[in-house]
Amino acid sequence: MLLSIEGLTKRYPGVVANDDVSFQIAAGSLHALLGENGAGKSTLVKAVYGLVRPDEGRMLLDGEPYAPDDPRAARAAGVTMVFQHFSLFDALTVAENVGLGMTERVRQRDLSERIRTVSRDYGLPLDPDARVGDLSAGERQRVEIVRCLLQDPRLLIMDEPTSVLTPQEAQILFATLRKLSAHGTAVLYISHKLDEIRALCSRATILRGGRLVDECDPRTTSSRELAERMVGGTLATPQLRKRDVGATALAVDVLDQPPASPFGVALRAVSFEVRAGEVLGVGGVAGNGQDELLSILSGEVRSRIGCVRLGDRDVSRLGPTARRTLGLSTAPEERLGHAAAPDMTLTENTIVTGARRMGLVRGGLIDWKRAAIAAAGVIRSFDVRTSGPHAAARSLSGGNLQKFVVGREIAQKPDVFAVNQPTWGVDAAAAAAIRQALVDLAAQGTAVVVISQDLDELLEVSDRFVALNEGRLSDPVPTAELTVERIGLMLGGAAGGPMPEAAVA
C-alpha cells in the first residue's frame, strides 16, 4: 500500500469535516474520492497534502508515519496536487510558471527541455515558451500537471479536474492519467461526475457527511448506485412532461457585442429563438461568453436595437426592472453577491427581483409584510432549508440558496426564464429538485434557457441544444439526436456540419 489513512478526524467549529476516515491507496492505482459538496473530500485531501493538520488519526506512506507540516513537506515525500483553480501567472511563459513553483533552482533552458520531455512522455502537448495568458483552460491544467510530474510524484491528487475541460480534452487527460498509473504513480481523483469515475478509476471511496460510507469498484457499480450512496437516498430524475411548444417567446440576434469588462468575452455571433414551453440548453466550457450572454438577457448590459426581442417587443435597450416587468427573468451564475446580497435577509433578497412582479412595492414604499410572506412562499414551495425569511442569504448552503434564487424567479411566473449554471456547486438532491423545477416551469408554458457546463444536466432537461464557443453560438440540435462526440465537437467550435475526426486533437 502506498498511502494508508487510519482514523483521520478533523473538526472545525460546529462541524466535523472528517470523522474517523480510514482507507488505503495502492501504488499505481487510479483511486476515486467521491462525495457531495461538504462531504469532507477537500479537507481529507488537504490533510494528505499538508494544508490541514488532522486532529486525530494518522497516515502511513509506504508504511512510514507521514504527517506533512506543509505542502512543501508533502511534495518532498512525493505527494503533489492539482487544484481546481489554477495558480498561474498569465503574463509569464509556461516554463517560467513551472519554475516559480519549484523548490530547486533550475536553468530556464534545462527546464524547458524537461517540460518537453515530460509532456511528450505523458501525451500532454505543451509548448514551454507559450504565454499562459494565451492558453485554453485545458492547456493551463496541463501546465499544472506537468509542474507536478516534474517532481516525480508517487501520488498525484486531482481536484475536480474535468470541470473546465471539453469532453475531448478530458479524454486526453484520462489517457495521461492511465499512463501515469502504468508508470506506478497513484492518482487520487476527486470528482462528482460519476461516469468519468466509472470509466477511469478502479477503486472508489465514498464520503458522506465526513464519514466514509462505502468503498467499491466503480467499474462494476452503476452510476445510479454510486449517486445514491453519495446522497444516502434515492435520486429522482426529472419527470419530463409532455410539453406543448408555443410561439416564439424570446429571440436573440447579437453580432459583435463588445465585452462590458476588460476581462470579458465579446459575443460575436449569438442568435437563437426559444419558444414557449421549450427548454433550450446552452452548453460550453466556462469563459466562452456565458456570463455575457446572461447579462444581455437580464438587461445588466444593453445591446443594440433589435438584438433581444421578448415576444413581439424589442427589449434590447431596457434595463433589468423593465424586462422583469415584461416577463423576462434571469438567474446569474454567482449566487452570493450577484443573484443575492449575502448579508441581506431572504425577505430583502426577495425584493431584489420580486419588487414589481410580486407587488412588494407600492407608491415607492416597501410592503415588508407582503415581502416576508412572498419569501416564506418561495422557501416553502422550493423546500429551502433555512431558519426562515429573516435568515441572511450567506447563512444558507449553496444548494439551498440556489433553490431560493431559482424559486424566487419561478414564483414570479416569467414568460421567459434564463439561468446560468443552475446546479453549479449544488448537492445532488438540490440539483435534482432544481432541474425538476425548470422542467415543470417549461411545462407551464415558460420558455426556459439553461446555460450550463454540465452536459448531463443539459441532456436531461433540454429539448434543443446549442453550444457557446468563444462568443459564437452553434446552430441548435434537438437533444434527442445528440451524442457525446457531437457535443464535444460543438463545444470545440466546429458547430453544425460534418466533422472530420482530425479536428478533435
Partner 1 sequence: MIVLERRPAPSTAWQGLSPVLAVALTLVAGGLMFAALGNDPFAALRAIFWDPLFGEFAFFFRGQLLIKAAPLILIAVGLALGFRAGVWNIGAEGQYIVGALAGAAAGLAFYPADSRLILPMMIAAGAAGGIAWAMIPALLRVRFGTNEILVSLMLVYVAENLLASAAVGWLRNPDAVGFPGSRDLSRWGSSANPELIAGTGAHWGVAAALFAVVAAHVLLTRHITGFHIRLTGAAPRAAAFAGVNGGRLIVFCFAVSGGLAGMAGLFEVTGPAGQISIDFASGYGFTAIIVAFLGRLHPIGILLAGLLMALTYVGGDNAATSLGLPVAAISAFQGMLLFFLLAVDVLTHFRLRWRPRGVAA
Instruction: List the x/- string, 350-379, binding to partner 1 by CB under 8 A.
Output: -xxx-x-----x--xxx-------------
Distance of closest approach, residue 262 Cβ to partner 1, in angstroms: 13
Is-contact 446 417, C-beta < 8 A? Answer: yes
At 235 the three-state DSSP class reads coil
104 forms part of the interface with partner 1 (CB under 8 A) = no
State how far the Cα of 404 lies from the Cα of 346, in Å rounded to an integer.
8
Stretch that binds partner 1, among 60-68, 141-149, 229-237, 391-399 (CB under 8 A): 391-399
| Helix, strand, coil % in the chain, rounded to nearest 5 | 35, 25, 40
28, 57, 238, 342: which one binds partner 1 (CB under 8 A): 342
8 Å CB contact between 307 and 292: no
Query: H or E segment at 3?
Result: strand 3-12
Query: For residue 83, what are the CA distances in angstroms to 153, 199, 243, 386?
Result: 15, 21, 42, 31
Q: Which of 114, 131, 268, 338 binds partner 1 (CB under 8 A)?
A: 338
Q: Does 101 bind partner 1 (CB under 8 A)?
A: no
Interacting span for partner 1 (CB under 8 A) from 50-58, 123-131, 175-183, 280-288:
50-58
SS3 (DSSP) at 99: helix
> Does 51 interact with partner 1 (rule: CB under 8 A)?
yes
Does the footprint of partner 1 cover residue 69 (CB under 8 A)?
yes
Q: How far is the CB of 22 from partner 1 (least distance, A)?
A: 22
H or E element, residue 20: strand 15-25
| Burial category of 197 from C-beta neighbours within 10 Å (exposed 0-12, middle 13-18, buried 19 and up) | buried
Q: Per rule CB under 8 A, is residue 298 in the interface with partner 1?
A: yes
Min dist CB 394 to partner 1, Å, is 7
Q: Which of 186, 200, 340, 447 binds partner 1 (CB under 8 A)?
A: 340
* Position among 134, 152, 343, 456 found at the interface with partner 1 (CB under 8 A): 343
Nearest CB to partner 1, comparing residues 12 and 89: 12
User: CB of residue 38 vs partner 1: minimum separation in angstroms?
Assistant: 14
- For residue 198, which of 226, 177, 160, 179 has the smallest C-alpha distance? 226
> Does 53 participate in binding partner 1 (rule CB under 8 A)?
yes
E strands, 345-479, where? Answer: 361-362, 365-366, 416-420, 447-451, 464-469, 472-473, 477-478
Instruction: Point out which residues bind partner 1 (CB under 8 A).
Output: 12-13, 51-53, 69-70, 298-300, 319-322, 324, 330, 332, 334, 337-344, 348, 351-353, 355, 361, 364-366, 391-392, 394-395
